[in-house]
Amino acid sequence: MTLAETYACIPSTERGRGILISGDSKSDTILYTNARSVVILDLNNPLKVSIYGEHAYPATVARYSPNGEWIASGDVSGTVRIWGARDDHVLKKEFKVLAGRIDDLQWSDDGMRIVASGDGKGKSLVRAFMWDSGSNVGEFDGHSRRVLSCAIKPTRPFRIVTCGEDFLVNFYEGPPFKFKLSSREHSNFVNCVRYSPDGSKFITVSSDKKGIIYDGKTCEKLGQLSSEDGHKGSIYAVSWSPDGKEVLTVSADKSAKIWEISDSGNGTLKITLTCPGSSGGVDDMLVGCLWQNDHIVTVSLGGTISIFSASDLEKSPFQFSGHMKNISSLSVLRGNSDYILSGSYDGLICKWMMGRGFCGKLQRKQNSQIKCFAAHEVEIITSGFDNTISRISYQDGQVTNEESVGVGNQPNDLSLAPLSPGLLLVTFESGVVFLRGEKVVSTINLGFTVTALAVTPDGTEAIVGGQDGKLRLYSVNGDSLNEEAVLEKHRGAISVIRYSPDLSMFASADLNREAVVWDRASREMKLKNMLYHSARINCLAWSPNSTMVATGSLDTCVIVYEVDKPASTRMTIKGAHLGGVYGLGFADDTHVVSSGEDACIRVWSLTT
């Protein structure tokens, strides 16, 4: 089993704060973080992604060393990990640097020292240390509140500049670094400070919409970004061009601006870039930027990454996005082109295509949270936490109609019978609700706690799984259910039931990490001992030719069994998704698609 493609998660963003992304110009990759993962994305091929998941706490910032060999990443607990940039990402060292979260991290140009800044108590808001021994190389007092950004002068004589929420920009000389002077030119949070590549100047940007340029050696103010055509919102991040003559700034006013910096230190606007296809909402606020080689990368609050070409600024940027949170469900739609639809619990539904990656987000009327999700050809059904079911009609990648139906109880599973048109069965804690079209036709109380459901595509038979581990088969008569059989085998609450595509079998999985394949006609167990997971099974999928079953579990593994062979001849993918596998589907008979808590989707190839 090999990994064929990864559709990466997007950087986690927070309203009101910028994010700092960095990259390596030699390998043309960028680094960003999402929850506990650090993502290394190749700008020329966004499907080539490498993810480092060894942080115990959500990671906040990551940076390549100047020689491109190591990556230092910091997290919310104040720990900095230094690990190899290639292959297995071997850990070199781990240091507990600050008492609170790390907001920015920079290597010195010789790769020997690292300065980290962030939140903490009193003294430990900024620390600079040797990369291999962790010994301190200076004392950094002068800040009283969270230090949002720091920068080291790349050329000798070395200087460190830090800036933060106390509106101050502090300047330190060294090594060993000591406080030199402080500048209070800004009237709001100073969000980012960056040195030009030749070290002659540095620029600070702030939530007061100003950008101020200083001399790199003496920290004297040289000039500022011109205020005509300036940003109309907080400026969250700044990045110098590789030649040091221009800077890129991004702001909450949803635009990115490129400024020319003259030698005297004044900045004049060269061009304003806006991202096309914006819906005009808060999600378009730009929170992060990076200028690397020919690429200008901007990140929006909604997580869309836009890559502009620096040499051809008029060209439309290449945009892609993804999920920021746990992708709780996945569906493979087969039709003219095979789409993969993924739904995350924050209500975002994205479309992907194998070989291409991100194809678009589904614009919905209201982005209510999604707990259960089912998709078939032209219809998507979701349910959330508000006791309603949304039926979304979907044509050519666009939402054409969206209806919301109240069902009176919180749904915990749902199943669609596409051939019996409009029939949808939804389970809630003690029973089942029948829906035809947008009307609730009946609500049946079954008398036991229901946890899972499956219905045949023609709507004649349904299986309901309970908390007691029993599977009850019902035949569907009009709007009511007649109990046909009770199957006992599972020793835990049933989590998912699925019919095979040829309808001759069905498979069920429970919270006690066991899965069973049953023959539908005889109701006998066809394949058992599928006990190879070490934690609850979250999802289950059949291959289109009904010969294989895949199960995904909280233990991060995906196991594929062949129905005609004993369970021990399984294929296991270990560590498929950090945090657990929550969605599973077969793209075709040789490719499995899985999604999980790490907000990524991975396509695995079964043929070696």
The answer to whether the beta carbons of residues 320 and 304 sit under 8 Å apart is: yes
Cα distance between the two ends of the chain: 6
CA–CA dist 284, 162 (Å, integer): 28
Contacts of 133 (CB under 8 A, 6+ apart): none
Contacts of 336 (CB under 8 A, 6+ apart): none
The structure tokens listed for 136 are 């301190």
The dihedrals phi and psi of 570, each to the nearest 5 degrees, come to -90, 165
CB of 559 to other proteins, least distance (A): 10
The answer to whether the beta carbons of residues 61 and 50 sit under 8 Å apart is: no
Q: What is the CA radius of gyration of the chain?
A: 27
CB of 586 to other proteins, least distance (A): 23
CB of 592 to other proteins, least distance (A): 21
**Closer to other proteins by Cβ: residue 461 or 514:** 514
CB of 491 to other proteins, least distance (A): 7
Q: What DSSP letter does each residue of 124-149 carry, written as one string? A: TTEEEEETTT--B-B------S-EEE
CB-side neighbour CA atoms (13 Å) of 374: 24
CA 541 to each of CA 107, 151, 339, 594: distance values in angstroms, whole numbers, following the listed order: 46, 49, 16, 10
CB of 473 to other proteins, least distance (A): 23
Q: Strand pairing partners for 343?
A: 329, 349
**Closer to other proteins by Cβ: residue 299 or 567:** 567
CB of 533 to other proteins, least distance (A): 9
CB of 590 to other proteins, least distance (A): 24
CB of 578 to other proteins, least distance (A): 24
**Closer to other proteins by Cβ: residue 562 or 588:** 562
Residue recorded with tokens 């009101």: 16
**Closer to other proteins by Cβ: residue 2 or 568:** 568
Could you give the 3-state DSSP secondary structure of residue 440? strand
**Closer to other proteins by Cβ: residue 555 or 597:** 555
CB of 531 to other proteins, least distance (A): 4
**Closer to other proteins by Cβ: residue 443 or 529:** 529
Length of the chain in terms of residues written: 608
The answer to whether the beta carbons of residues 21 and 299 sit under 8 Å apart is: yes
**Closer to other proteins by Cβ: residue 507 or 567:** 567
The answer to whether the beta carbons of residues 518 and 503 sit under 8 Å apart is: no
Residue recorded with tokens 């200087």: 159
Residues making contact with other proteins (CB under 8 A): 491, 529, 531-532, 566-568
Identity of the amino acid at 507: A
**Closer to other proteins by Cβ: residue 169 or 554:** 554
**Closer to other proteins by Cβ: residue 98 or 507:** 507
* Nearest residue to 433 (alpha-carbon basis) of 491, 388, 483: 388
Residue recorded with tokens 């007649």: 482
**Closer to other proteins by Cβ: residue 412 or 512:** 512
CB of 565 to other proteins, least distance (A): 12
